[in-house]
Amino acid sequence: MLAGGLHVLFCGINPGLMSGATGHHFARPGNRFWPVLHASGFTPRRLLPAEQGELPAYGLGITNVAARTTARADELDDEELREGGRILREKVRRYEPRWLAVVGVTAYRVAFGDRHAKVGPQERTIGGTRVWVLPNPSGLNAHWTLRTMAEEFGRLREAAGVADARHRGDS
3 state SS of 91 = helix
Q: Is the pTM of this model over 0.85?
A: yes
64 belongs to the catalytic site: no
How much is the pLDDT for 140? 79
Predicted local confidence at residue 169, as pLDDT: 54
Question: Residue 60: what pLDDT?
Answer: 97
- Give yes or no for a contact between 93 and 41, defined as CB atoms under 8 angstroms apart: no
Give the pLDDT of the chain (171 residues) as one tens digit per residue.
334 489 999 999 999 999 999 999 999 998 999 999 999 999 999 999 999 999 999 999 999 999 999 999 999 999 999 999 999 999 999 999 999 999 999 999 999 999 999 999 999 999 999 999 999 998 778 899 999 999 999 999 999 999 999 986 544
Cβ–Cβ under 8 Å, residues 1 and 61: yes
Q: CA–CA distance from 149 to each of 50, 92, 130, 132, 170 (Å)?
A: 22, 24, 20, 13, 24
Specify the pLDDT at position 118: 98
Cα–Cα distance list, 95 to 32, 108, 146 (Å): 26, 19, 29
Q: Identify the active-site residue in 7, 25, 64, 136.
A: 25
Task: Quote the pLDDT of residue 168.
Answer: 66
31 is an active site residue = no
Question: Would you state the pLDDT for residue 61?
Answer: 97
**Rounded Cα distance, 157 and 161, in Å:** 6
